[in-house]
Chain A
Protein backbone atom coordinates (compact mmCIF):
# COMPACT_ATOMS: atom_id res chain seq x y z
CA UNK A 1 0.00 0.00 0.00
CA UNK A 2 1.26 3.48 -0.81
CA UNK A 3 2.55 5.45 2.14
CA UNK A 4 0.12 8.34 2.54
CA UNK A 5 1.53 9.71 5.80
CA UNK A 6 3.21 12.56 3.94
CA UNK A 7 -0.13 13.69 2.52
CA UNK A 8 -2.11 13.69 5.76
CA UNK A 9 -3.17 16.90 7.39
CA UNK A 10 -3.95 17.31 11.09
CA UNK A 11 -7.35 18.76 12.09
CA UNK A 12 -5.75 21.93 13.46
CA UNK A 13 -3.03 22.40 10.83
CA UNK A 14 -4.75 25.57 9.64
CA UNK A 15 -4.56 27.18 13.08
CA UNK A 16 -0.88 26.52 13.83
CA UNK A 17 0.05 30.08 12.99
CA UNK A 18 -2.73 31.58 15.10
CA UNK A 19 -1.65 29.46 18.05
CA UNK A 20 1.76 31.11 17.87
CA UNK A 21 0.56 34.64 17.19
CA UNK A 22 -2.15 34.59 19.86
CA UNK A 23 -0.08 32.99 22.63
CA UNK A 24 -0.63 35.07 25.75
CA UNK A 25 2.52 36.19 27.57
CA UNK A 26 2.99 37.96 30.88
CA UNK A 27 1.89 37.02 34.37
CA UNK A 28 -1.23 35.19 33.16
CA UNK A 29 0.41 33.42 30.24
CA UNK A 30 -1.34 30.68 28.30
CA UNK A 31 -0.76 29.15 24.91
CA UNK A 32 -2.28 26.48 22.69
CA UNK A 33 -0.57 23.88 20.57
CA UNK A 34 -1.53 20.72 18.74
CA UNK A 35 0.03 17.34 19.39
CA UNK A 36 -0.38 15.96 15.89
CA UNK A 37 -1.00 12.42 14.63
CA UNK A 38 -1.02 10.80 18.03
CA UNK A 39 -1.74 7.10 18.07
CA UNK A 40 -5.04 6.27 19.78
CA UNK A 41 -6.46 2.81 20.26
CA UNK A 42 -9.86 2.00 21.69
CA UNK A 43 -10.02 -1.08 23.90
CA UNK A 44 -13.28 -2.79 24.87
CA UNK A 45 -12.92 -5.76 27.17
CA UNK A 46 -14.41 -7.10 30.38
CA UNK A 47 -11.92 -6.20 33.14
CA UNK A 48 -10.79 -9.13 35.20
CA UNK A 49 -10.68 -11.50 32.22
CA UNK A 50 -7.58 -13.10 30.72
CA UNK A 51 -8.01 -10.85 27.67
CA UNK A 52 -7.76 -7.73 29.85
CA UNK A 53 -4.62 -9.11 31.47
CA UNK A 54 -3.13 -9.88 28.04
CA UNK A 55 -3.74 -6.32 26.85
CA UNK A 56 -2.20 -4.94 30.04
CA UNK A 57 0.84 -7.11 29.48
CA UNK A 58 1.39 -5.74 25.96
CA UNK A 59 1.03 -2.16 27.25
CA UNK A 60 3.24 -2.84 30.25
CA UNK A 61 0.73 -1.25 32.59
CA UNK A 62 -2.58 -2.24 34.17
CA UNK A 63 -5.91 -1.02 32.75
CA UNK A 64 -7.14 1.59 35.26
CA UNK A 65 -10.35 0.64 37.07
CA UNK A 66 -11.59 3.98 38.39
CA UNK A 67 -12.94 7.11 36.72
CA UNK A 68 -10.28 9.76 36.06
CA UNK A 69 -7.40 7.33 36.34
CA UNK A 70 -4.59 7.19 33.76
CA UNK A 71 -1.88 4.58 33.88
CA UNK A 72 1.29 5.33 31.98
CA UNK A 73 4.29 3.33 31.00
CA UNK A 74 6.93 4.55 28.54
CA UNK A 75 5.18 5.71 25.36
CA UNK A 76 1.75 4.47 26.40
CA UNK A 77 -0.96 6.19 28.42
CA UNK A 78 -4.12 4.22 29.19
CA UNK A 79 -7.16 6.37 29.98
CA UNK A 80 -10.29 5.04 31.71
CA UNK A 81 -13.38 5.78 29.60
CA UNK A 82 -15.94 3.44 31.10
CA UNK A 83 -16.18 0.26 33.17
CA UNK A 84 -15.19 -1.81 30.12
CA UNK A 85 -13.68 0.81 27.81
CA UNK A 86 -10.24 2.40 27.61
CA UNK A 87 -8.38 4.74 25.28
CA UNK A 88 -4.68 4.13 24.71
CA UNK A 89 -2.80 7.28 23.74
CA UNK A 90 0.66 6.45 22.54
CA UNK A 91 3.67 7.71 20.65
CA UNK A 92 4.24 4.27 19.14
CA UNK A 93 3.10 3.87 15.54
CA UNK A 94 -0.36 2.32 15.16
CA UNK A 95 1.17 0.04 12.53
CA UNK A 96 2.97 -1.87 15.27
CA UNK A 97 0.85 -1.18 18.36
CA UNK A 98 -2.56 -2.18 17.00
CA UNK A 99 -1.48 -5.58 15.61
CA UNK A 100 0.39 -6.32 18.84
CA UNK A 101 -2.68 -5.57 20.96
CA UNK A 102 -5.05 -7.40 18.61
CA UNK A 103 -2.81 -10.47 18.53
CA UNK A 104 -2.87 -10.70 22.34
CA UNK A 105 -6.65 -11.17 22.45
CA UNK A 106 -7.15 -13.19 19.23
CA UNK A 107 -10.28 -15.25 19.96
CA UNK A 108 -11.30 -13.54 23.18
CA UNK A 109 -14.39 -11.35 23.58
CA UNK A 110 -12.58 -8.04 23.16
CA UNK A 111 -12.25 -5.19 20.67
CA UNK A 112 -9.06 -3.37 19.65
CA UNK A 113 -9.69 -0.54 17.20
CA UNK A 114 -7.32 2.05 15.78
CA UNK A 115 -9.09 5.37 16.40
CA UNK A 116 -6.09 7.65 15.82
CA UNK A 117 -7.98 9.86 13.38
CA UNK A 118 -11.02 10.14 15.65
CA UNK A 119 -9.57 12.84 17.89
CA UNK A 120 -6.68 15.24 17.96
CA UNK A 121 -4.72 16.45 20.98
CA UNK A 122 -4.87 20.12 21.86
CA UNK A 123 -2.50 21.29 24.57
CA UNK A 124 -3.36 24.24 26.80
CA UNK A 125 -0.41 25.37 28.87
CA UNK A 126 0.29 28.30 31.14
CA UNK A 127 -0.54 29.90 34.47
CA UNK A 128 -4.00 30.86 33.19
CA UNK A 129 -4.80 27.46 31.63
CA UNK A 130 -7.22 26.38 34.36
CA UNK A 131 -8.96 29.77 34.39
CA UNK A 132 -9.47 29.50 30.62
CA UNK A 133 -10.93 25.99 30.75
CA UNK A 134 -13.11 26.84 33.73
CA UNK A 135 -14.95 29.35 31.54
CA UNK A 136 -16.55 26.56 29.53
CA UNK A 137 -16.30 23.32 31.49
CA UNK A 138 -18.92 22.17 34.02
CA UNK A 139 -16.35 20.13 35.93
CA UNK A 140 -14.58 21.39 39.06
CA UNK A 141 -10.94 21.70 37.98
CA UNK A 142 -9.74 23.12 41.30
CA UNK A 143 -6.78 21.14 42.74
CA UNK A 144 -9.03 19.91 45.57
CA UNK A 145 -11.11 17.99 43.00
CA UNK A 146 -8.85 17.44 39.98
CA UNK A 147 -5.15 17.29 39.31
CA UNK A 148 -2.22 16.18 37.18
CA UNK A 149 -2.50 12.62 35.90
CA UNK A 150 -6.30 12.64 35.82
CA UNK A 151 -8.40 12.37 32.67
CA UNK A 152 -12.17 12.42 32.23
CA UNK A 153 -14.68 12.78 29.45
CA UNK A 154 -16.75 15.91 29.88
CA UNK A 155 -17.81 18.94 27.85
CA UNK A 156 -16.01 22.13 26.94
CA UNK A 157 -17.97 24.93 25.33
CA UNK A 158 -20.91 22.48 25.11
CA UNK A 159 -19.08 19.88 23.00
CA UNK A 160 -17.76 16.53 24.29
CA UNK A 161 -14.03 16.38 24.95
CA UNK A 162 -11.65 14.18 26.84
CA UNK A 163 -9.90 16.43 29.35
CA UNK A 164 -6.53 15.28 30.65
CA UNK A 165 -4.43 17.24 33.11
CA UNK A 166 -0.72 16.56 32.60
CA UNK A 167 0.90 19.11 34.91
CA UNK A 168 0.03 21.82 37.43
CA UNK A 169 -0.52 24.25 34.55
CA UNK A 170 -0.84 21.89 31.60
CA UNK A 171 -3.89 20.23 30.08
CA UNK A 172 -4.50 18.12 27.01
CA UNK A 173 -7.90 18.24 25.36
CA UNK A 174 -8.97 15.48 23.02
CA UNK A 175 -11.91 16.75 20.96
CA UNK A 176 -13.27 14.77 18.03
CA UNK A 177 -11.52 15.86 14.84
CA UNK A 178 -14.66 17.49 13.46
CA UNK A 179 -15.05 19.55 16.66
CA UNK A 180 -11.35 20.43 16.95
CA UNK A 181 -11.53 23.64 14.94
CA UNK A 182 -14.50 24.91 16.98
CA UNK A 183 -12.86 24.02 20.31
CA UNK A 184 -9.57 25.63 19.29
CA UNK A 185 -11.23 28.84 18.11
CA UNK A 186 -13.33 28.97 21.28
CA UNK A 187 -10.11 28.63 23.30
CA UNK A 188 -8.32 31.31 21.29
CA UNK A 189 -11.19 33.65 22.08
CA UNK A 190 -11.26 32.57 25.75
CA UNK A 191 -7.54 33.19 26.24
CA UNK A 192 -7.60 36.70 24.80
CA UNK A 193 -8.72 38.46 27.99
CA UNK A 194 -5.69 37.16 29.88
CA UNK A 195 -3.36 39.27 27.75
CA UNK A 196 -4.82 42.42 29.27
CA UNK A 197 -3.52 43.81 32.56
CA UNK A 198 -6.69 45.87 32.81
CA UNK A 199 -8.80 42.75 33.39
CA UNK A 200 -6.31 41.25 35.85
CA UNK A 201 -8.08 41.03 39.20
CA UNK A 202 -5.09 39.33 40.83
CA UNK A 203 -6.94 36.09 41.60
CA UNK A 204 -4.68 33.84 39.57
Chain B
Protein backbone atom coordinates (compact mmCIF):
# COMPACT_ATOMS: atom_id res chain seq x y z
CA UNK B 1 0.00 0.00 0.00
CA UNK B 2 1.12 3.55 -0.70
CA UNK B 3 1.70 5.92 2.13
CA UNK B 4 1.14 9.53 1.10
CA UNK B 5 2.37 12.53 3.02
CA UNK B 6 -0.62 14.91 3.16
CA UNK B 7 0.70 18.50 3.24
CA UNK B 8 -1.61 19.22 6.20
CA UNK B 9 -2.00 15.89 8.03
CA UNK B 10 1.29 14.10 7.51
CA UNK B 11 1.80 10.49 6.43
CA UNK B 12 -1.39 8.45 6.07
CA UNK B 13 -2.32 5.24 4.33
CA UNK B 14 -3.56 5.26 0.75
CA UNK B 15 -7.02 4.10 1.92
CA UNK B 16 -7.63 7.56 3.43
CA UNK B 17 -7.24 9.23 0.02
CA UNK B 18 -9.09 9.48 -3.26
CA UNK B 19 -7.32 9.59 -6.58
CA UNK B 20 -8.02 12.53 -8.86
CA UNK B 21 -6.20 11.71 -12.09
CA UNK B 22 -3.53 13.69 -13.90
CA UNK B 23 -2.56 17.06 -12.42
CA UNK B 24 -1.94 20.29 -14.34
CA UNK B 25 -4.68 19.76 -16.94
CA UNK B 26 -5.97 23.33 -17.40
CA UNK B 27 -9.64 24.00 -18.10
CA UNK B 28 -9.92 25.40 -21.65
CA UNK B 29 -9.94 29.20 -21.87
CA UNK B 30 -13.00 29.21 -24.11
CA UNK B 31 -14.70 25.78 -24.07
CA UNK B 32 -17.37 26.76 -26.60
CA UNK B 33 -14.69 27.51 -29.20
CA UNK B 34 -13.38 23.93 -29.11
CA UNK B 35 -14.27 21.33 -31.69
CA UNK B 36 -15.79 18.08 -30.44
CA UNK B 37 -12.45 16.36 -30.93
CA UNK B 38 -10.61 19.01 -28.91
CA UNK B 39 -13.22 18.87 -26.14
CA UNK B 40 -12.99 15.07 -26.04
CA UNK B 41 -9.22 15.40 -25.90
CA UNK B 42 -9.54 17.67 -22.86
CA UNK B 43 -12.09 15.44 -21.14
CA UNK B 44 -10.76 11.98 -21.75
CA UNK B 45 -7.19 11.88 -23.01
CA UNK B 46 -4.51 11.69 -20.35
CA UNK B 47 -0.81 10.93 -20.36
CA UNK B 48 0.18 7.41 -19.42
CA UNK B 49 3.91 7.59 -18.83
CA UNK B 50 6.18 4.96 -17.41
CA UNK B 51 8.03 6.94 -14.76
CA UNK B 52 7.31 10.16 -12.86
CA UNK B 53 3.69 11.28 -13.17
CA UNK B 54 2.06 14.34 -11.57
CA UNK B 55 -1.38 13.45 -10.26
CA UNK B 56 -4.06 14.85 -7.97
CA UNK B 57 -5.07 13.30 -4.67
CA UNK B 58 -7.71 14.25 -2.11
CA UNK B 59 -7.35 13.42 1.58
CA UNK B 60 -11.02 12.49 1.65
CA UNK B 61 -11.27 10.98 5.14
CA UNK B 62 -8.92 13.53 6.69
CA UNK B 63 -8.72 17.24 5.99
CA UNK B 64 -10.59 16.84 2.64
CA UNK B 65 -8.06 18.99 0.80
CA UNK B 66 -6.74 18.41 -2.73
CA UNK B 67 -3.03 18.37 -3.42
CA UNK B 68 -0.56 17.08 -6.00
CA UNK B 69 1.78 14.12 -5.93
CA UNK B 70 4.56 13.15 -8.31
CA UNK B 71 4.67 9.37 -8.32
CA UNK B 72 6.80 6.98 -10.33
CA UNK B 73 4.29 4.73 -12.08
CA UNK B 74 6.83 1.92 -12.42
CA UNK B 75 8.26 1.80 -8.89
CA UNK B 76 5.35 3.50 -7.06
CA UNK B 77 7.91 5.72 -5.38
CA UNK B 78 6.44 9.05 -4.25
CA UNK B 79 8.86 11.66 -5.56
CA UNK B 80 7.15 14.85 -4.39
CA UNK B 81 4.05 16.11 -2.61
CA UNK B 82 3.01 19.72 -3.08
CA UNK B 83 -0.03 21.96 -2.71
CA UNK B 84 -1.67 23.99 -5.48
CA UNK B 85 0.09 27.06 -4.13
CA UNK B 86 3.51 25.45 -4.60
CA UNK B 87 5.33 25.44 -7.94
CA UNK B 88 5.48 22.20 -9.88
CA UNK B 89 8.67 20.38 -8.82
CA UNK B 90 11.51 20.23 -11.30
CA UNK B 91 11.91 16.71 -12.77
CA UNK B 92 14.85 14.97 -11.14
CA UNK B 93 14.53 16.92 -7.90
CA UNK B 94 13.33 14.79 -4.99
CA UNK B 95 12.44 17.66 -2.64
CA UNK B 96 9.21 16.97 -0.77
CA UNK B 97 9.23 13.21 -1.34
CA UNK B 98 7.89 11.09 1.48
CA UNK B 99 9.87 7.93 0.94
Check if A152 sits within 8 Å of B62, measured CB to CB: yes
CB distance from A167 to the nearest CB of B (A): 23
The number of A-B residue pairs with CB atoms under 8 Å apart is 33
CB distance from B65 to the nearest CB of A (A): 6
Check if A82 sits within 8 Å of B16, measured CB to CB: no
Check if B12 sits within 8 Å of A82, measured CB to CB: no
Check if A155 sits within 8 Å of B63, measured CB to CB: no
Check if A138 sits within 8 Å of B63, measured CB to CB: no
Check if B8 sits within 8 Å of A153, measured CB to CB: no
Q: Which residues in A have their C-beta under 8 angstroms from that of B62?
A: 152-154
Check if B16 sits within 8 Å of A83, measured CB to CB: no
CB distance from B59 to the nearest CB of A (A): 9
The verdict on A117 contacting chain B, using a C-beta distance below 8 Å, is: no
Bound complex: CA A153 to CA B64 (Å): 10
If A67-B8, A67-B10, A152-B9 touch, whether A82 touches B15 (CB-CB below 8 Å) is no
The verdict on A160 contacting chain B, using a C-beta distance below 8 Å, is: yes
Bound complex: CA A26 to CA B5 (Å): 40
Bound complex: CA A132 to CA B16 (Å): 20
If A67-B8, A67-B10 touch, whether A154 touches B61 (CB-CB below 8 Å) is yes
Check if A160 sits within 8 Å of B61, measured CB to CB: yes
CB distance from B97 to the nearest CB of A (A): 20
Contact with A along B55-74 (1 / 0, CB 8 A): 00000011111000000000
The verdict on B38 contacting chain A, using a C-beta distance below 8 Å, is: no
Check if A155 sits within 8 Å of B61, measured CB to CB: yes
CB distance from A158 to the nearest CB of B (A): 8
Q: Using a Cβ–Cβ cut-off of 8 Å, how many residues does chain B contribute to the interface with A?
A: 12
CB distance from A140 to the nearest CB of B (A): 9
Q: Which residues in A have their C-beta under 8 angstroms from that of B12?
A: 138-139, 154
Bound complex: CA A65 to CA B10 (Å): 14
In the complex, which residue of chain A has the Cβ closest to the Cβ of B13? A138
Q: Which residues in B have their C-beta under 8 angstroms from that of A72?
A: none
Q: Which residues in A have their C-beta under 8 angstroms from that of B16?
A: 138, 154-155
Bound complex: CA A66 to CA B10 (Å): 10
Contact with B along A51-68 (1 / 0, CB 8 A): 000000000000000010
CB distance from A134 to the nearest CB of B (A): 14
Bound complex: CA A160 to CA B61 (Å): 6
Q: Which residues in B have their C-beta under 8 angstroms from that of A153?
A: 61-63
Contact among A82, A138, A152, A155 with B65 in the assembled complex (CB-CB below 8 Å) = A82
The verdict on A42 contacting chain B, using a C-beta distance below 8 Å, is: no
The verdict on A114 contacting chain B, using a C-beta distance below 8 Å, is: no
Interchain Cβ contacts under 8 Å between A and B, 18 examples:
A67-B8, A67-B10, A67-B63, A82-B8, A82-B63, A82-B64, A82-B65, A85-B64, A138-B15, A153-B61, A153-B63, A154-B12, A154-B16, A154-B61, A154-B62, A155-B15, A155-B61, A158-B15
